[in-house]
Amino acid sequence: MNNHNMPLLAVRDLRTYFFQDEGTVKAVDGASFEILEGQTLGVVGESGCGKSVTARSILRIVEPPGRIVAGEILWHGADGEVRDLVKLDADGRVMRSIRGREIGLVFQEPMTSFSPVHTVGNQIIEAIRLHMRVSAAEARRRAIEALRQVGIPQPERRIDDYAFQLSGGLRQRAMIAVALSCDPRLLIADEPTTALDVTTQAQILDLLRNLQAQRGMAIMLITHNLGVVAEMCDHVVVMYLGQVVESGPVDAIFHNAKHPYTRALLRSIPSIESPSRVKLHTITGSIPHPYNRPAGCPFHPRCPDRIRGVCDVREPTLRTLEGGQSVSCFLYGV
């Protein structure tokens, strides 16, 4: 059954709020996007725009006082069934078998993402034995193989090391090994290279690309680095204050960005070709305080193209334009 038209993951109007004493933070406030099988989706935005919370919402590991209040997360399971992850019990068997097995997660900080008192091998083997019915010996063999696949030298020895005994690059590879140990169909990578130096960054990105080609796995790459997006992704989603403001194929976004925020982001990348002695472009203003969201379009206070009376009053919705691009902006219609 080839369901290539059926996206692997479809997020529709997801809203995740954090209910705190001082007020409610609408971390994700109406995000919609899709990932197809084998595709690499980039999720881009400044810190605090809700990218990580989106990833956690998909995996249903949002921590209290946070909660998904609305929306759907449609996951096309390996058994062919499509389930709405929002409706599943977060700690139930079904969700837990999807989490870690069908969807893997790689975190930003490899040092603190490993338990300091358990060996790396212990944590990989635990994942393997949890999701697959294999013996301890077989699990260990698979773990060593996973470490080898991510390019860790001498995996039979490294498997018994603790996280603090590995270098930064090796740690991140080990993290990827853990996430891939059960052969997931979607890998969510939350800022996987932000904590690494540039050379290691390039190596890790190469690794991810190779692994994807080998396994046909989809990747959701969350980053604030537009360079990484250009290099790795087929599709891009741009988020601002918890909403998707633009999405589309990578070429369209980079060469033909529609949303004023996307354009401002792209403009602010310093280029080697720009004339010297010219001030760097910045986006005026700053991100509003989470308790102080502006009315209407969330970006309008900083937008150079805002329309008085429209953008500060009503909220735009995501509209699909030609070429597969979608924008949430009144400049392109009501």
Partner 1 sequence: MVEQEIIEETTTEAEEKISLATAGQLMWWRFRKHKLAMVSAVVLILFYLVVIFAPFLAYVDPELSEAQRSLMPPQAIHLFRDGRFEPHVYAVKGARDPKTFKRVYVTDPETIIPLRFFVHGFPYKLFGVIPTDRHLLGVEGVPIEESLFIMGTDLNGRDLFSRLMFATRTSLTIGLLAVAISLFLGVLLGGISGYFSGTVDIIIQRVIEILRSLPTIPLWMGLAAALPGSWSVQQVYLAITVIISLLGWTELARVVRGRFLTLREEDFITAAELVGCSRSRIIFRHMVPSFLSHIIAATTLAIPAMIISETSLSFLGLGLRPPAISWGVLLEQAQNIQALAISPWLLTPVVPVILAVLAFNFVGDGLRDAADPYG
Partner 2 sequence: MLGYIVRRLALAVVTIIAISILSFIIIQLPPGDFVTTYIATMSAGGATVSEAEVEALREQYGLNQPMIVQYLKWAGQMLRGNFGMAMEWNRPVKDVIGDRLALTVVVSLAAVVFTWAVALPIGIYSAVKRYSIGDYIFTFIGFIGLAIPGFMLALIVMYVGFRYFNANIGGLFSPDMADAPWSWAKFKDMLAHLPIPAVVLGLSGTAQMIRIMRSNLLDELRKPYVMTARARGLPETRVILKYPVRVALNPFISTIGYLLPYIVSGSIIVSLVLSLPTVGPLLLKALIAQDMFLAGTIILLLGVMTVIGTFISDLLLMWVDPRIRLERR
Q: Answer yes or no whether residue 203 interacts with partner 2 by CB under 8 A.
A: no
Site string for partner 2, 162-191 (x = CB under 8 A): x-xx---------x--x-------------
**β-strand pairing of 243-249 with 103-106:** unpaired
Q: Radius of gyration over alpha carbons of the chain, in Å?
A: 21
The residues with which 105 forms a beta bridge, in sequence order, are 188
Q: From 28-36, 119-127, 207-215, 237-245, give the range in contact with partner 2 by CB under 8 A.
A: 119-127
- Render 138-185 in DSSP notation, one character per residue: HHHHHHHHHHHHTT-SSHHHHTT-BGGGS-HHHHHHHHHHHHHTT--S
Nearest approach in angstroms of CB 301 to partner 1 is 5
Residue 117, burial from CB neighbour count under 10 angstroms (0-12, 13-18, 19+)? exposed
Site string for partner 2, 134-163 (x = CB under 8 A): ----------------------------x-
Binding to partner 2, residues 10-49 (CB under 8 A): none
- For partner 1, the closer CB: 77 or 301: 301
Place of tokens 């725009």: 49
Site string for partner 2, 213-242 (x = CB under 8 A): ------------------------------
- Render 49-90 in DSSP notation, one character per residue: SSHHHHHHHHHT-PPTTEEEEEEEEEEE-TTS-EEEGGGS-T
- For partner 1, the closer CB: 274 or 286: 286
- For partner 2, the closer CB: 83 or 96: 96
- B/e letters for 73-90, b = 16+ CB within 10 Å, e = fewer, are bbbbeeeeeebebbebee
- For partner 2, the closer CB: 59 or 204: 59
User: In the structure encoding, which two tokens stand for residue 285, read together?
Assistant: 């203003």
Distance CA 35, CA 204 (A): 22
- For partner 1, the closer CB: 4 or 308: 308
Residue 286: name its binding partner from partner 1, partner 2, none (Cβ under 5 to 8 Å by kind): partner 1
- For partner 2, the closer CB: 114 or 330: 114
Interface residue list for partner 1 (CB under 8 A): 284-286, 289, 292, 301-302, 304-305
Q: Answer yes or no whether residue 69 interacts with partner 2 by CB under 8 A.
A: no
User: In the structure encoding, which two tokens stand for residue 31, read together?
Assistant: 């995000």
Cα separations in angstroms, 129 against 44, 91, 178, 197: 34, 18, 12, 33
User: Taking the mean position of all CA atoms in its chain, how far away is CA 187?
Assistant: 9
Nearest approach in angstroms of CB 305 to partner 1 is 6
Site of interaction with partner 2 (CB under 8 A): 56, 59, 61, 63, 91, 96-101, 104-105, 107-109, 112-118, 123, 126-127, 130-131, 162, 164-165, 175, 178
